[in-house]
Structures are given as C-alpha cells and as structure tokens.
Chain A
Amino acid sequence: MKILVGLGTCGIAAGAEDTYRALREQLAQRQPACQVSETGCLGMCYREPLVEIHEDGQRFLYGNLTADKVGRVLDEHVSGGRPVEEWLVWADDGRGAEREFLARQHRIVLRNCGRINPEKIGEYLAVGGYEALAKVLRDQNPDAVISEIVESGLRGRGGAGFLTGMKWRFTRLAPGHRKYVICNADEGDPGAFMDRSVLESDPQSVLEGMAIAGFAIGSGDGYIYVRAEYPKAIERLTLAIAQAEEQHFLGDGILGSGFSFHVKLKEGAGAFVCGEETALIASIEGRRGMPRVRPPFPATRGLWESPTNINNVETFANVPWILVHGAAAFNSLGTANSKGTKVFALAGKVRRGGLVEVPMGISIREIVHDVCGGIKEGKEFKAVQMGGPSGGCIPAVLQDTVIDYESINKTGAIMGSGGLVVMDEDTCMVDVARFFLDFTQRESCGKCTFCRVGTKRMLEILTRITEGQGQEGDLELLENLANLVKKNSLCGLGQTAPNPVLTTLKYFRGEYETHIGNHKCPAHHCLALLTYTITETCNGCGACLRACPAGAITGERKQLHHLDPAKCTHCDACYRACRYDSIAKN
C-alpha cells in the first residue's frame, strides 16, 4: 500500500502539509510498512488537500482530506479495507463524486502530475522519463527531431501559438557559434498556474524537453526564467537539475554521448512584461526588462546577441511525450491547425476550479459545464475571460466556440497561456475590463507612449464609469484609445492590453451604456451605482445599523429600519451584515 499526498502550492495552501504530517505520524504508530509519499498537483484544486491511496493496483482518491479526517481514513480504509465513500472523489473501481472532472481530460502535459514524486528522479524514470532524450541521443539526428516536432503540429503554448518546430529550425539555421535555449517560466497572468503546477509536479519533463531542444538546435546552454514568486517550483527545479546532472541527463557528455547541456535558473523579479521574450532576454542579461524592436527575432539575435530559442514550460513538457509516442499520436488530437491538448487553469464562478488538460477542439461549453460542473450556486453563465489580461471575454452565447487558436482569435480573445476565468450573472463586465486593464497598466514597462499613458487614460475612463461618473462620448473615446494602444505598441503587452476592454465593449456594450446613461450597474456590482434600501422583511435586528459607518440607517429595535440614501456611502457594509436578505441593492 502506498499513500500519495498532493503537495503542490495549491495543496499546501489548503492544508496538505498538516494532512501529510498527520498521516505520517499516525501511520508510523499503526502501520510502519505503509509508504507515504508526496506528489504534485492533480489539478483538482477545488478539492485540495488530495490524498491518493494505492492498493493492489487500485487507486482511491480522497478530496478535502484535512488533517482531522486522516484518522477515519486510516481506521476504515487502510486498516479496515473499507474506503470512506463519502469523501472519495475518484477511484479506479468507478466510485467517486468527481469522476467527470478527470474523465473528460486527456493528459499529456500533466501526465505525471499528481502521479509521481517530483523530488525523486527515480519515479520520473520509472514512468518512462528520459527515454525520449536517450532515443534522440542514440539517433544523433537533430534534423529528424525538428521534423518530428514540426510534424506533430505542436504550437507554442505561451500564447502566440507559433509552430515550435519551425522556431527550432530557425534557431538551428541561424549562424552563431553559441546558441541558447530558454524556458519561459515567467507565468504572469493573474489566475494562471499551469506552468507552476508542471514545474512543481513534474520538473524533469521540462528539463528533458529543454535538453532535446538544445540537442536539436545545437545549443549547450539552457536558462529557465522562473518567477521568484514560485518558491516551491524553484526548490523542486533546483533539486531536479541536481538529480538530472548526477544521473548524466544534464551536464557534460549526457548519457555518454558527445552532447552537453547545462541548465541555469534565473529568477525573475515579478515583472509581467518579462514574459515577453525580448524583455525576458534583457532581464537575464541583467538589464531592465523592456521589450525591444523585433526583428531581429531571438532566433537570430537573442541572449547575449546569440541565436536563442524560447519556449514556455508547457511546450517543453509536451516534447518528450511526442518523441516517445510519435508525431502522429500527437496530431491525431485536436483540430486542423491546433494539435494536441491544452492545459487550462480554471478560476472564477465555476464549480470545479483547477487545472484541466483537454484535447484541442473541445468547446468552451464542455469545459465549463461538463469538465468543471457548471456555475456555482446555480447561477447563470455569463462569459469567460480567456488568455488573462491579454485575452478577451467570450460571452455565453459563443460558448460553443471550440478550443483552437484561430477560433478563439476570431472572438477577439486569445488562447493565451491558458487562464480561464468563468463569470456569472453577478459579474460586472465593465469592472472586469477595469480589473484586467488595471493589471496591464501597472505592468506596462513604460516604454511606449500609448501603452504607458494610453492604458492609464483608458483605466481612468473605466474607473469613472464604474463610479458613476461616466460621460457622453466616453465609450467612443475608450474605443478609439483602445485601438490606438493596440496598434501603437511594440510588444504583446501593449498590443493586447485593450483586448478585455474591446471584447466587453463588443459583447456587453449595453452594460457600459447602462452605467453611463442610467447610472446603474446591471450586475449590481459597482457599489457607487447601487441604491441600498431596506425591505419589508427587516425584523429590526440592528446589525445593519451597527455596521453602517455613515450613520445612514435608523430604526428602533424590532422595528423596520430605514436607510437614508443621502447619507449612504455605498460601502456595502449593511448588505454584508444583514442575515435576513433585507437589504436590497439596485
């Protein structure tokens, strides 16, 4: 019997370390032979802490298994042999409440996540790790590797979707005596955590992908540019590199071949723009992370002026699988132009939030409703924000759009790195646009006029609208500015920053107009636009009266209270204080 505890950042945040400790302590007393091991993230973040029990080839997955529940599981399942059915989320025997979540997924990138111990290279090797690299080094045919990747149809998972094999080929063909491979692990989109999860749960697959890329393009040096905000990922990567070097999967003369490949970690300082490849290169070189004019592209002039290939974590994680299973296996999945799978980080008002990997070609509806179980609290599905702050809002009416680079682009959103924020009827689309723009505005590197000042002015307009100060002509000004910013920015950050605004304006213009014209927020979200009233159901408990900082509420105890709208500051305190739904906001 073997017990696995998910110790990714998401698990740790949910208390998995306590669970892990409890398991070890209690097992040490009862059943020392039973092995407790840590693993990464299975993606079911909404159910963390997750504990998986392997027994005779059967797997039982428990969700929300906090430390206090450990005793019962040990008693009934480990000792008693009777799985605790009510806490079971998934089991090989068909039991479990959350089967749908995993059933609809197709795991290539996340193949080992939550399955192996990321801190032990042996477990990676046990599931076929480094077979691809070994094969590549045996064949000694870089062009064949590149052809295989080209044929697989793998496109860059960082967002832009450029054909990975082509990028490798350009770098290979570029003249230069020294070349570099960079893994972009500067996952900056708010709400996106695919890369973190892969790095925490299966770092070796990324290293293997990088080494293969290095061999293919003729590079002996790799950099992983990883956010300093991912300490767990950095810790495990550092360990993984050491272990891989020890076992000669990295370093000089890998696996006895003439190929050497060294990987260095470079911690980013948390600038979103450093996800842009030229800014990332500048940052590695010790300069301010600021994008530069392209061309020349990094493939011809990148790090230290040398040809450089940059792919993101998810892209690299795909590479070993493709080389083991063949391009055909990969490109049999997906649509005409988008092959393989895509990992999404689901957040927002969806029932099952977490990490899912689905084949390309699946529809948004399927992801939201089937994989993720629809909207929380039975509310109405309104839209998804795809691609983070660079992406756009896809409204519910377009939920049959399939996951495919081109189809998503057509809606005005982008595939992006895979952040998917689900919004329900209570979400104000103006505020959503404001939220994302606020992010990009702060994260602009400040170089281009339109991105630096234009987004600021857009943000001011949006803020004005959500505060009820919108004016006639604001939408035209906003749209005009958005288009100018889009067209007059050097890098992707500026070029895409207006997307949330443009798509919400496109699909939810009425909502904007209501804010400006009627001074109302249809989603009842923008506090400044709400009118608070106390309804007849008030029983005079006085909670709201005590909560109100402005003294706007009056009323005798046990009597219907009254709210003076002239004094109300729209702070929402009464609404939150009322336990009888007697405060209405309109």
Chain B
Amino acid sequence: MDLVKLEIDGKRVIAENRQTILQVARANGIQTIPTLCHDNELEPFASCFLCVVKVQGARTLLPACSTKVSAGMVVETNTPEVRRSRKAALELMLSNHYADCIGPCQLQCPAGVDIQGYIALAALGKYEDAIQLIKRSNPLPAICGRVCTRPCEVKGCRRTLLDEAVGIDYIKRYLADLSLARREAPRPPRVASNGKRVAVVGAGPAGLSCAYYLALKGYGVRLFESLPEAGGMLRYGIPEYRLPKDVLDLEVNQILDLGVTLSTNVALGRDFTVSSLRQEGYDAVFLGLGAWESSKMRVQNEDAPGVLAGIEFLRQFGLHRSPDLHGKVLVVGGGNTAIDCARTALRLNAGEVRLLYRRTRAEMPANEMEIVEAEHEGVHLDLLVAPVRVIAHEGRVTALECIRMELGEPDSSGRRSPRPIRGSEFVVDCDFVIAAIGQNTRLQELVDGRVPGFLPFGEVLNLTRWQTIQVNDRTFETSVEGVFAGGDVVTGAATAIEAIAAGRRAAHAIHTYVTTGKAQPEPVEFCSRKDAYRKITVDDLRDGSRHPRRAMPVLPPEERRKSFAEVEQGYSAEDLRNETRRCLECGCVSLFDCDLRRYATEYQVDVTSFMGEAKEYRVDRSHPLIELDPNKCVLCGRCVRMCAEVVGVAAYGFINRGFDTVVRPTLGGSLLDTECVSCGLCIGTCPTGAIVERIPLAKPGPWKTSATPTVCAYCSVGCRLSHDTFGDTLVKMSRREEPLATHGYHCRKGRFGYAHVQSRERLRQGRIRAGRELQDAPLEETLRYAALRLKELRRRYSGREMLVLVSPRMTNEEIYLAQKFARIALRTHNVTSAAHLVNRELFCPEVQSTASYADLADAQAILVVNANPAEDNFVVDLLAKKALRKGGRLLYVGPEEDRLAHFAEVFLKCRPGTQSQAVLALLAEVARVAPAQLETHAELRRLAQSPEAGRARESCGVEPESLAVAARILAGSILKVMVFSRDFRGRRTPGDSRFLAAAGEALGCSVLALHEKSNMQGLLDLGAHPGWLPGYVPPDDEAAVGELEKEWCVVLRDLEPGAEDPAELLRRKAIRVAVVLGEDPLGSPDFPADLRAGLLAADFLVVGDLFATATAQAASVVLPLSSSAETAGTVTNLERRVQPLVRAIPPLAGSESWQILCGLGAGMGYRFKMKYAGVDEVTAEIRRVVPIYRDVAVGSQDSDGIWDLGRLRLPRVPADPAGLAGSVEPVPTLALDELEARFARWFEAAMAGARASLAGEARGEPVALEVGPAT
C-alpha cells in the first residue's frame, strides 16, 4: 500500500493506491459520480457505466468504481462528455424498462396528487397522514372531493379495464371531511415570516392555492376578492347541493388561519391596479381572476328579459339575488355549468327544465355522473338541438326557435362537429332561457387603457387571442415583471383542480422569483410509463378479480328538488376500507428510493432517444416477503453478487445472453426453490424497484419516508438499521449502507420483523385486575393503582420476597431504571432476567467478548464452537464469510455440519455434547505442535498435557488428522477469533462458556461470545442481577456502594443480599411480589412448571409488555410498554459496543417505557429519585454511576464505542475445567420471548402458504398467495 497524490475536479487529494477513483472521490466529499452497480460491500463490477470519469491521458472514459488511483492522476467527474455518456447509459437502460414509476391516476391528476400514497395510508387507517399527503399538492381536498372532474378516475384508473375506477375522489372526500370534523386535527403551523409580501388577486381555487403554498413558505399574503366572500367560482359558480358553503368556509378558513389576509369587495381596476400593488411594495403579484363572462349564443333577441347568462345566473344566485324563476326553463349548453344551471333551476321552483345540447349525450363535456343525477332529478335532455332565435313577446322571452342538428366529420379536437339540418327549425315555448355555453375573461377592459395607470409605466400585459393572459406555461410568469397568473384567466373556463395546480406551481415559481430573481418551474421528476411501450390491457393488472365500486349514497331525487341540501352523502368507514382495497397499486414501491429514477431526473433523460424493443416479464410474487420485477432490473448484478459473495447462498443468477439477459432466481424458478434465507439483503442493495419487499402492511405505499437510524431489536449482534417512517407510521426497515461494524448487513428478522410495532394487538392502555377480569384503564390510573399496591405490599413483605424480571431486549436506560426501581423502591436485589432463572450459565461476568466485528472480519483463523450463527446471529455468519473472502480460514467444531460449517476448511466433527472436549483436544494438539502458544497459560498448559486431555480426545471422537490440520492452522495464524454462543441451544457441558473463553484466550484467539437477545450485554452491564450492581459492582464493595448511595440518595447497604439463585425462591413460592418487564415466562413452554407455579403464587404481579402475553393475562396490573421504535436510549451489543436508539414514532400508549418506570417509582414516593426530564438524563446518570460506560463514545462505529474491559473491576476467573464431563441441554432462552415467537409464527406461516401456492401452481391449480398483514 502506497500513498499517492492526485487531483479530482481540481481538488488535490491523497489516497492509497489500492483505492478506486470512486472511493477516493466519495471519501473527499465529491458526490458527483453516480453508480448503479456498485455497493461498498461488493467487489467492483463495472457494468452500468454510469460512474465513468475523465482521466487525463486516458483514451476513453474510465469507470470510477473499478479504476484504481495512481500518482499524478487528474480526474474530472462531471465534464459535458462524461455527462453525455452517463445520460446515454441511462437512456439505454430506460429504453428497456417496462415499468411505471407512478400510477396513471397521479399522472392524470393536474395537480399530481400522490393518490396511491394516500389511498395506502387510508387503508392503514392513517387518515390524518393521508390528508397531510394530499395537502402537499392540493390544499382544498374537501372541496375537490365534491366538485372535481376526476381525470384520475376517468382517464387514469386502470381498474376501468376490469370493472370501474377506484372511488379516488370519494376516498379523498372521506379523509378531508374527517380531518375537517376533528377539532384537534393537526394544522400546519404558522411559519415564521420571511419578510416578503405577495398580492394574490382573486380568491378562487387558483388564488387560494397560491396563497396557501406561499403562506407555508413564510410569505405575507394578501388575497384581494371582488365579491363579498372568498371562494370564487367554487362559491359563486357551483351550487350548494354539490358543494355546501360550510365545507367551503372551513377549507378557506384553514388557509386564512395560516395568516393570509383577505380583502373582499375590492376589484382590480376599480379599487386597485397592478401598479398600485407594486407601489405598495408587494414582491410579486398573482392574478387568479377567473373567467366570469358568459359566452353569447349569438342569436337574435339574446338580450331580451328572461334570457339569462349561465354563470351569471349562478353567481347572482350565490349572491342571494336570483331571479324569481318559474314556468318552463330552457338551459342551453352541455357542460357542467349547464347542468348546474339546470339543477339549480329545478330547485328554484321551475316547473320544467329542459337542457338543449347541439351534439349527442356522448359528446357532452359535463361529467357523466352529473348528467345522470340531473336526469334523476327530472331535467329533460334535448339532444342535437341548437338555438336559432329568441322569440320575445312584449319585450320578454316567450319561446326559443331551435334547429335540429346532425353530427358530421370529427374536427381537430376529435369530436364530431354538429351541422344544422336544413328546414328542421321548430319552436319551444318557455319562460326563461339560460345560456350556459361557455365563459370568457373580462380582461379587455383592464388592459385596453380604460383603467388609468393599470400597469406600471412601459409595461404591457400580453393576452392570447382568446383574451386570456399569456403566461410561461411552466413558471406562470406574465409579460409584466413580477406578475404571475393562473387558473381560468389563463386557461379559459377549466376545472377547479387545474386552477389549484396552477396556483401551487405559481407559488413555487414566485418563491424562486422572489428569492433568486429568476422564476423556476416546479421540478419535474423522471417518470417511466408502461404505456410508452404499448397499450395496457387487463392482463397487465396485478389482480384480475372483479370487485364492484362502492356506490356513493345520495339523497333521493324527490328530496333534492325541495332544497339545496348536499346530494352526495359521503362514504362510510366500511365503504372506505372496501374502496381502498380496490386500488391496484400501479406505481412503483421504490419510487422514493430508486437510484435509477434519481439519476434519470438529474441527467434529464429522454427515453425516446433509444426506444425499441422492450422486454416484458411477469412479476414474481411467489416469495412471501420478496417481490421480483425483472422489468425494472438494470442487470447491475448487485443482488446476484450480494447473495453469492456476502451471504454465500447464490439464490440469484444471470439467465440468457445478450438483450435477453435477465436476473432471476437461480435456474429460473422461484426464490423458494433456491437456498434463499430471506435475509432481504438483495432488497437493500437493489438500486431500483426490481427487488422490493412485500411489506407486512395493508398497502405498500409508496411514501417518501424519513429514515431514523436504529439498532435491531432481535439478537445481540446489534445491526444498524433504519426505521423508515411516514408521519407516525413505521413503513419499513431498511439497510444502512455503512462500511463499519456490521457493514450494513442484517438478517430477515431485522428487515421484515417490525410488524409488531404497529400490531393491532399492541397494548394501548393499562389493565387492572378486577376479580377474574382484567379491565382496561388509562395509563395514569393504572400506574397510580400499581404504585399504591406496591407501596402497601412493600410494608408487608421483605426484599427477599420481591422479584423483578427484566427483558434483555429493553434499553440500557430501561434496564437501569428497572434495577434502580427494584433496589430503591422495592428494596430488593432480586432483579434479573427470566433467562437467568433457567440458565445460570449466562451470568458469569468473567465471560466477555474480547473481539470486535472488525477483528472477526479481518481474522486469519476463526474457530467456531457451540454456535450456529447462520441461524441465531446471522450477521456474525456473514462477517465470518467476509473474513473467508479475504483469505481467512474457518475451523468449525460441532456435532452437525450446519450452514456455516459448509464453509469451514476444517470441520471438527465431534460427538454431541463433547464440543468442550474437542476444544481441549485441540488445545492439546496445539500445545504439541506449537508449545510456545500456551506459555502464558500455565493452568491450561497443565490441562492440555494432563490425562484428561487424552481422554477428551478419545471421547469427542474428532478425527486426529482434522485436529492436526486445525492445530497447524491455529498455530500459523496471528489474528484469530473464537466464536461461541452463550445461549447455545444444542447439547453442551456445564461451565463451558468459562472454559471456552479461557481456552480461546490460551489459543491466542480473541473471543466473540454471542447472545440471543439484543441487549443481554446491557442487562448484565447494568446490574440487573442479584449478585452485582451496575457495572458489575459487588454489593460488598463499600466504596462503590457508597458512591451509588450518594448518587441515588438512598441507603443500599442495609438491603438484604440478593438470592444466589432466584429460581429457588420461586420454587419455594417465596416470592410475594413480582414485576415482569417485557418477558413472558408463563407463555413459554420451556419455563419449568415449578417456577411457573412460583410466579403465579405471588400476591401481586405487575407485568409490562407490548402485548397481552400469557404472563400479562395472569397479572394483577398490566402496563403498556413502548417498542424500540418508540423510545430513545442506548443498547449494548455483544462486542460491548454502546449504540444509540432514536425514537422514530411516538409510543402507541402515549408514554415511553422509561417514563412508565419512573411513573411507577414516583407513585411509590420516589418522585425525585426517579425524576428525569428526558431519557438523556438517564443515560447521563448511567455514565456517572457505571464506570465502564463512563468514557464510551456512544454510537461510534470504531473501538471508541466499545466499553473498555480493562475498567472491569471483577477479577477474571481462569479456565473452569470442572465442567468438562457430562452434558446438559439448556433451555432455549428464545422461547421466553413473545417478539421472536411472533415473527417466527408469521414467517413460517407465510413461507408455508407460499410453498403451497407454488406447488398448486405447478399442479395447475393456482392458489392466490395472500400475505396477510402481520399483526
């Protein structure tokens, strides 16, 4: 290894010559090199060619991921040539990417609302999160839920190919109504003012939307409205039976609540001008004036009294100035306004309402549903009829002369144009004619100079030939500096959702204009679309079963005519659940974490460049947890390599050649047919949506989640993962690509086992026993009650009769508080874990890991004994394989050849239960071939040379050659690690942990002592043990106890000594009061009957848990604890590394477990001794009280994060050869735990279901595989 100097993008850097350009660039903060095929944990592959860079002097661009740096190299990472090449690579990949980024519903929505996302949230019952998601794009969901023309459903929804569109709009309305009705619903907080002001002229949908998004960015917004109230066309153009005014008011008020000021009855051109706004210092102006002028029919006598203009009629009605309508009313026109006029007229006591339209019903621009409802209400349609002349008598309309029409050739819009049929004129008598044939703006009078000084001097507001304002169609800038426009005044009469979209987009442009001086359009992200390749058919849908759409309940037509009461009544909760299930989830689950899409956006990819044949593959959903969509695969091979190299399974392979190459499960079948272990590392490394998890939620989103770093709650390896959350929902767990400690590895439990966090079965409040029943009670009350009873019982019973059991999955802080509670409140040292009761072996402080993961991954020789890491501590297995990839050699001692043993160079096969003897034999062999090795271990040397060693050699049955080879490997290696599990579940000898730890040390190995549960190390470190106080302090260490007394402000020395074997107390039924936190001994089949009886015999049993476990069922009081996603604190892994947990979502029951423990203590009178403002204060106290934790850099991924063994005050006990004879089968500690059992049940069921389904398919009886949401 040499250090070299080179230059990257003009920056001089120093690097090792074995590093690649990509590594060096990233290490130096140069993030301009994209890559799809590179993963830090894998060897360079160089297939995607996105990472190409320009190296001075090189003939071609070079892939940075695989080109090593050299001295004097000059690298440019982002030149135009480089960018062109990358762009072409992306375009080629995407020319063969038969996939949808987002669903067609969202694509069709003018405002681009994330429909799939909010439907998925609604399906989860996360209504408030859903409405917040909608409001990111549309601030008026309750209004839109009623009046939208629904392009998402009509043109977007693919379900129309199957049955009917999903009731998207109805779902939205339900969510919005619910949110409006909830007083405590969170409202966006007022944002601190940024000091800038914007005038928004026109309080219609465009103006309101623009004002909303500007206000959220901190602008001072004033809305100018010419009419008496805000709402524009929503208020004065849409009748109340479609949009109740109180709904409108509520949503408008939400916008005003953000600090937007509203001035009504002020009209542009009359009361103020663009110039005056500028003079008043507004930084920008938005014009959302609408299109309020009804188009003329252009027939004779059009101005006769009794002839009304459509939009004007509605507006007058909205202003409560409607004419006294009676008799027969003719409405001319076929749009929504015409229908609104007709239905309004009906409600205004018109005797008969007829709607005249010049084309057929199929061509009517009004929404189909509106037409149907109008007909239901009694509106009569006269189709293929056009007005010719208004017949007036005595200056008032009496009839309308009409002409029949026929349809001719399609015109440029694709609609067949109507032609009058000569001589077919006829006369219809009537009392009123309402002409609703179109709307125009009223701009001409503003810009033609009639309003003096309307515009600042020298500026011109350009109009189109349709008299609408001409704007830049992406930034909404008009020809006047700083003036933007949107809505009907730009588009002519259009829909509310288009106006809302324009308002939002203009707000973005205005924001960039005000802050940077140049208006920028809202960024547009790359979007792959299946229908760019071919027309989608029903066969493309993920599910072909038909489910009818839930009909919207409506008022009966006879009731409607009597009033303006809202016709549509809204969905019920049941309707909503059904309707959300109908969504086909067309969009990609990886939308928000797809690197391909990110780069495609960044490089402004144009897929049309290289369009040609595209492959189409069936999506493989045969595995219950992992979904494969080869259509989205870019052949980067990361999954293939991750699975083969890191996991050592090779479940994936490349199949076929050339353009037909595809990545599939090996041999092309299902993942279930491979050796797949469902670890999910393929998902974490896949840069696109080709491999995704089938998440155990009702719907998979996708949502733009936030990632909170955390530590896995399952085993003691302590893998770093992310909690990916949306709002308060834990959406998934994901891999953290950190090349340190656990290298971003994880197992299936870590990846998929998080459903318990949001399970419906979680305890949400306390429970108190009343007679035979446990009754729900608020947490506060439960705590008060429990504390009161405990206080009372403490007076009655001594500390010897108290027992606290703590789960080794709880955080350090929780464990610390639990033992503190036991010692100060219950006055007992009897605090431990249930695992201790069945396996005392666990509790010997002299057995500690002396190796770190870095040692393991770098080891030259690894000796595994009494462990099955592939099953129990999967990532240790992966780290060992990492060492093997680097040339390390594996020795495996055990009775059976399990998965890791396959990788062993020497498999020392011994008789069951004789592993320790085998190690002793190995020790003796090493002593023989390399006597120097054992020099510092006199006792072990004696043992190795004793007859006992000879007997061990005989009894273990390991082949002598294997022993010899293994001994030579050990003697010839310097970096050596011994791995054993303290929770080993096979047959073993008593005292083996101590022996193995000592033997490992004698062999020159550092030791990795595995545990099953995530924080067993912390539990031991923090004194949840009758025999020692936090930090392994013996209770008779007066100095140390004295310090603790000072810190805790209690006397500890008068506590009776803790029971040497707490199980004995239970056996004798001597425990009167028990507090069990996070453990379920009674639910475990392995918990011995006598201990069970002992626990049940207690007078008072307090149980804290996530679930109503069997133990909780037997409790006097149940406390709802928080899961590891819901609390902060620290946990200590088996390396003794202290890692932080960060709270990702609020605790389901409202309080975090540490707060509950403090609450219990407070209730017992330790209000001040257990008072902490935050969990940080508990951590700080631990650092003061527990010397070994004092100087640990919590969270550090190097050795600073590991507490220093040298600070452990206990004398380390040498080898304990006593236990070499006889074997025991220890109780699996795992079974004492609900969390693991839940996951195992769910996983096994899912796999069994999937296998059955696959087998059925093979027999030609396809069984639909439904992976139920994990509960």
Taking Cβ atoms with an 8 Å cutoff, the residues of A that contact B are 271, 273, 288, 290, 292-293, 295, 441-450, 452-457, 460, 480-481, 484, 486-490
Contacts and interface: CB of A to CB of B under 8 A. Distances in A.
B654 A444 contact: no
B206 interface: no
Contacts of A446: 635, 654, 656-661
A424 B93 CA distance: 38
Contact of B47 (A449, A455, A486): A449
Given A454-B92, A488-B49, A443 B60 contact: no
Contacts of A449: 47-49, 89, 92-93, 634-635
A293 B657 contact: no
28 contacts: A288-B653, A288-B654, A293-B63, A443-B657, A444-B659, A446-B635, A446-B654, A446-B657, A446-B660, A447-B47, A447-B661, A448-B48, A449-B48, A449-B49, A450-B89, A450-B92, A452-B658, A452-B661, A453-B92, A454-B92, A455-B658, A456-B612, A456-B613, A480-B88, A481-B88, A488-B49, A488-B89, A490-B47
A460 B85 contact: no
A295 B66 CA distance: 9
B52 interface: yes
Given A293-B66, A447-B637, A484-B88, A457 B610 contact: yes
A88 to B, nearest CB: 47
B44 A293 contact: yes
A119 B46 CA distance: 45
A487 B52 CA distance: 10
A455 B1159 CA distance: 70
| 8 closest cross-chain pairs (CB), A and B | A446-B661, A453-B92, A487-B60, A456-B659, A293-B66, A488-B49, A460-B612, A442-B658
Interface in B634-686: 634-635, 637, 653-654, 656-661
Contact of A444 (B46, B613, B657): B657
B1090 to A, nearest CB: 57
Given A271-B657, A447-B637, A453 B96 contact: yes
Nearest to A290: B654
Contacts of A455: 658-659
A402 B932 CA distance: 70
A450 B88 CA distance: 9
B61 interface: yes
Given A442-B658, A452-B635, A452-B661, A457 B49 contact: no
Contacts of B637: 447
B85 A487 contact: yes
Nearest to A295: B68
A488 B85 contact: yes
Given A445-B654, A455-B658, 7 more contacts: A449-B92, A450-B88, A453-B92, A456-B96, A456-B613, A460-B612, A488-B60
B440 interface: no
Interface size class of chain B, counting residues whose CB lies under 8 Å from the partner chain? 20 to 34
A486 B61 CA distance: 11
Contacts of B106: none
Contact of B52 (A445, A457, A488): A488
B45 interface: yes
B665 to A, nearest CB: 14
A457 B658 contact: no
A85 to B, nearest CB: 52
B1123 interface: no
A446 B60 CA distance: 21
A293 B661 CA distance: 19
Contacts of A290: 654
Nearest to A453: B92
Contacts of A452: 635, 658-659, 661
Contact of B85 (A447, A453, A484): A484
Interface in B76-102: 85, 88-89, 92-93, 95-96
A457 B612 contact: yes
A488 B657 CA distance: 18
B93 A453 contact: yes
A460 B661 contact: no
A448 B49 contact: yes
B79 to A, nearest CB: 14
A481 B93 CA distance: 13
A544 B45 CA distance: 57
Contacts of A444: 657-659, 661
B61 A453 contact: no
B46 A293 contact: yes
Interface in B1029-1065: none
A484 B50 CA distance: 12
B125 to A, nearest CB: 43
Contacts of B92: 449-450, 453-454, 457
Nearest to B67: A293
Contact of A487 (B61, B68, B653, B661): B61
Interface string B1101-1136: 000000000000000000000000000000000000
Contacts of B66: 293
A442 B657 contact: yes
A460 B614 CA distance: 12
Nearest to B653: A288
B186 to A, nearest CB: 46
A455 B657 CA distance: 13
A481 to B, nearest CB: 8
Contacts of A453: 92-93, 95-96, 610, 659
Nearest to A272: B657
B890 to A, nearest CB: 17
By CB atoms of chain B within 10 A, which of A295, A443, A452, A484 has the most?
Answer: A452
A480 B85 CA distance: 10
A487 B653 CA distance: 26
Interface string B603-616: 00000001011000
Contacts of A292: 45
B164 to A, nearest CB: 39
Contacts of A484: 85, 88
Contacts of A443: 657-658
Contacts of B47: 447-449, 490
A441 B60 contact: no
Contacts of B52: 488
By CB atoms of chain B within 10 A, which of A290, A443, A449, A489 has the most?
Answer: A449
Contacts of A448: 46-49
B95 A457 contact: yes
By CB atoms of chain B within 10 A, which of A288, A457, A490 has the most?
Answer: A457
By CB atoms of chain B within 10 A, which of A460, A488, A489 has the most?
Answer: A488
Nearest to B47: A447
Contacts of B634: 449
A120 B92 CA distance: 54
A452 B610 CA distance: 13
Contacts of B661: 444-447, 452
B970 to A, nearest CB: 21
A447 B63 CA distance: 14
Given A293-B46, A449-B634, A441 B61 contact: no
Contacts of B612: 456-457, 460
Contacts of B610: 453, 457, 481
Nearest to A288: B654
Nearest to B96: A453
B813 to A, nearest CB: 48
A450 B84 CA distance: 13
A449 B47 CA distance: 6
By CB atoms of chain A within 10 A, which of B45, B63, B658 has the most?
Answer: B658
Contacts of B96: 453, 456
A450 B46 contact: no
A386 B654 CA distance: 32
B819 to A, nearest CB: 53
By CB atoms of chain B within 10 A, which of A452, A453, A484, A489 has the most?
Answer: A453
Contacts of A460: 612-613
By CB atoms of chain A within 10 A, which of B60, B612, B637 has the most?
Answer: B612
A487 B84 CA distance: 13
